[in-house]
Amino acid sequence: MAQELAMVTVGVISAISVLAGSICTWLLNNISATETAKRLEQSAVRHSIEEKYLMVLSGTELFLRSKLKNMDLETDLAHLNAVIRLFANDDVKKKHRAQSDAVVAYQDVFYKSQKNFESLSDGSEEFSQEWRKLMVALEELSGSMSAHIQSLKSFPK
């Protein structure tokens, strides 16, 4: 009888061990799948923001180098400002405001000069101080965007 009880006890312990192992495996797989899904979603968000930031920077560069008074470009700039308002963190928004202020300051001296330039960038030598401030603001904006994108990575440097 003691031997039969021992055999039954070993069987029950084995069954409980297998069941506990299966539950642990299921839980770990579930956690792993959830973490993988979170990483994929975070990666998709980061990729989307990268594309939008690239669009903002290239749109700004295009604006500075395009022919003056282009209404299509003005519409594009309004769209790019909306992108910043929707997707940027506070630091990027602050740098974008500073860059926008630098553009306005440059445009003020540019238009007050009454010279015939084809694009805003054509006056960069004549109004070098304002142009330099604009380029510094654009570089700072770019750096803030890069930092924001880096902070969204699953495994930051």
Handedness of CA 110, 112, 113, 114 (dihedral sign): positive
- Whether residue 69 has pLDDT greater than 70: no
pTM: 0.69
Q: What is the CATH number of the domain that holds 123?
A: 1.20.120
For residue range 118-133, what is the model confidence (pLDDT) as tens digits? 888 888 888 889 999 9
Domain membership flag for residue 93: yes
Residues 6 or more apart whose CB falls under 8 angstroms from that of 87 comprise: 48, 49, 52, 53
| Whole-number Å distance between alpha carbons of 79 and 52 | 11
* Total number of domains in the chain: 1
Domain membership flag for residue 59: yes
Identify whether the C-beta of residue 141 lies closer than 8 Å to the C-beta of residue 80: no
- Report pLDDT for 141: 92
Which residue range(s) make up the domain with 82?
A: 42-151
Phi and psi at residue 118, in whole multiples of 5°?
Answer: -80, -35
